[in-house]
Structure 1
Amino acid sequence: MRQRNKPWADEFIQENEQLIIPNPKEFKGKWKELFNNENPIHIEVGTGKGQFIIGMAKQYPEVNFIGIELAKSVMVSAAQKVIKSEQSNILLLNVNAEDLREMFAPDEVEGIYLNFSDPWPKNRHEKRRLTYRSFLEQYKEILVPSGILQFKTDNRGLFEYSLVSFSNFDMKLQEVNLDLHAIDDPENVMTEYEEKFSSKGQVIYRCRAIF
């Protein structure tokens, strides 16, 4: 869905640099210093309007969360919600996550979340999928050896593709769930998209894997 332009987004981002970090590459290997604690770091690639990352931050206050979102209009919506939530264990990055290794050092991250990523269904766009092998190479480098990659989608084709991609990359699948909401997982935190479409009966798929 096309997001409505927010002409005040740039000004809002500049006024909230303590939350929306303007120069993330400078903090590579130093994110715990910015959070001012030694808690583990988890990142969400494509944080959307922030419902998931805020829910996770509330559920796991002992974890530091970093949300990455390229669209400014979406980022400011997420930031407004984070500010309202008063969660101190969240930071946001308004950047393109083409190469996470530019922003995170090896073994700096303990968890990565990919929620309802763009499926890029055409074969010529395969390299843009966030579960393509070039992205998996990034995740493997920045994750600690036992770090978890969690992937959720409502797109069956992308889910099947991702399982094959994980397997070809010799990842170990810890969970493959073909109907997440059927198991009523009390620890599952929903995104806005997940909440909307699952209420209409749309099946949600989830996979958890380690390198």
Structure 2
Amino acid sequence: MRLRKKWWARPEMEASEFCVIKPREYKGKWKDEFGDKKPIHLELGCGRGSFISQKAEKNLDKNYLAVDLKDEVLIYGLRKVEELELKNVRIVPLNITFISEIFDKDEIEKIYINFCNPWPKERHNKRRLTHTKFLTEYKKFLKSGSEIWFKTDDDQLFEDSITYFKESGFNIEYLTYDLHNSDFKNNIVTEYEEKFSTMGTKIKFLIGRLI
């Protein structure tokens, strides 16, 4: 579905202390931006910010960067962060293809990927955020031993992603094909997750640890 352009979104984002418009200028300086030495976690494809705002509110001992491309979506995540006054969150407008350009080595300690586009056609598989191509990029700025948490409703994407993680030097630390009926205790339900679960779709989830 094509998003209607919201011309007012970018000026509002530029005026907010919780939004980083030029993230490349912060490479190697993210701890300075937050003003402390807390671990930094990254959500790729944050959408309207439901997950990151809940995660950050419950974990004030961590800092969070929430990345997505469209201002029309990010503006709602930004407003959630502002409403909750989450000083440990920054919203970052960026095409994820360029994600390794904004971080130095070892700058990020965990990544969350929730319900990314499955790109089902084989010729488009390399656009998947869990594809080996992307996982190799993440390794440029992830600390050794860091985790990637991945959730999806898509069966084929999940199966392929298991292979991608193994090929890219990640151990699968946790895996379930039915998250809501598993023993995993720290789940935060996203908007898409609630929608798919209501439809009877089982949520797949894994944790990959960088060796």
Q: TM-score if structure 1 supplies the norm length?
A: 0.95
Runs of 5+ unmatched residues, structure 2:
none
Q: Find the aligned partners of 1:7 and 1:36 in 2 and give their Cα distance.
A: 31
What's 1:166 paired with? 165
Number of the residue aligned with 2:204: 205
The correspondence of residues 7-86 of structure 1 with structure 2, limited to 5 A, is 7-16=7-16, 18-86=17-85
SS at match of 1:92: strand
Deviation at 1:199, TM superposition (A): 2.4
List gaps (5 residues or longer) in structure 1.
Answer: none
Cα distance, 1:158 vs structure 2: 0.3
How far apart, CA to CA, are the structure 1 residues paired with 2:81 and 2:192?
18
Q: Contact 2:18 / 2:87 at 8 angstroms: preserved in 1? A: no
Query: 1:125 offset after TM fit, Å?
Result: 0.7
User: Using the alignment, how far apart are the partners of 1:38 and 1:115 within structure 2?
Assistant: 26
- Tell me the alpha carbon deviations over residues 111-159 of structure 1, each in whole angstroms, 9 at most, x when there is no partner: 0011100011111111111111121111112111011011100001100
CA distance in 1, matches of 2:185, 2:105: 32
Structure 1: 4+ residue segments shifted above 4 A: none
- Please say if residues 99 and 138 of structure 1, whose CA atoms lie closer than 8 Å, have aligned partners that are also in contact: no
Cα separation, 2, equivalents of 1:201 and 1:20: 36
Matched-pair contact (CA < 8 Å) for 2:130–2:161:
yes
Match of 1:98 in 2: 97
Counterpart AA for 2:47 = G
**Most deviating of 32-41 and 185-194:** 185-194
- For residue 197 of structure 1, report the CA deviation from its aligned partner: 1.7
Q: TM-score scaled to structure 2, two decimals?
A: 0.95
The RMSD of aligned alpha carbons is 1.2
Q: Structure 2: how far apart are the matches of 1:152 and 1:200?
A: 16
What CA distance in whole angstroms lies between the structure 1 residues aligned with 2:41 and 2:103?
A: 11
Q: Which amino acid aligns with 2:3?
A: Q
The 5 A counterparts of 1:173-188 are: 173-183=172-182, 185-188=184-187
Q: Cα 1:43–1:105, aligned 2, differ >3 Å: closer, same or farther?
A: same
Check the 8 A contact 1:151/1:208 in 2, yes or no: yes
Partner of 2:146: 147
For residues 139 and 199 of structure 1, the distance between their equivalents in structure 2, rounded to whole angstroms, comes to: 32
1:184 CA displacement: 6.0
1:169 Cα offset (Å): 1.9
Aligned residues: 210
Q: 1:99: Cα distance to partner?
A: 2.6
Q: Tell me the residue number matched to 2:110.
A: 111
Q: Does 1:193 align with 2:165?
A: no
